[in-house]
Amino acid sequence: MWMIVMFDLPVVEDSDRKAATGFRNFLLDQGFEMAQFSVYMRFCSGPEHTQTYTRRIKEALPLGGKVDVLFFTDKQYENILSFRGHNLNPPPKNPDQFVLF
């Protein structure tokens, strides 16, 4: 199962920018990969795993802004189309196994 975290956070004040950067760094520390600047994704082994990360994300949310968490099965993830300019990139590959750090 895949988790996609999408967010729009305020960055007008210095404190807002610091909070937004802290949230992005938090997602990276939790094992998420950046798909786009405000879109991060992570592979999880199942619903229990996604609930753990959802709770952590909720606790780390900065004030203001909008954060959405989406869940995709492996099969749905395989059907994502990704374009770079006018070129279609090959479909994303599911991880073979978990990487432990």
Gap between the Cα atoms of 84 and 77, Å rounded: 18
Give me the mean pLDDT over the 2-17 stretch.
Answer: 94
State how many domains the chain has: 1
Q: Which residue has the higher pLDDT, 76 or 55?
A: 55
Residue 29 domain-assigned (yes or no): yes
Provide the whole-model pTM.
0.80
Residue 99 domain-assigned (yes or no): no
CATH number of the domain that 40 lies in?
A: 3.30.70.240
Gap between the Cα atoms of 61 and 26, Å rounded: 10
Gap between the Cα atoms of 19 and 42, Å rounded: 21
Give me the mean pLDDT over the 8-35 stretch.
Answer: 94
Residue 20 domain-assigned (yes or no): yes
Domain containing residue 13: 2-88
Q: Which residue has the higher pLDDT, 65 or 90?
A: 65
Residue 83 domain-assigned (yes or no): yes
Residue 61 domain-assigned (yes or no): yes
Does residue 96 carry a pLDDT above 70? no
How high is the pLDDT of residue 74?
85
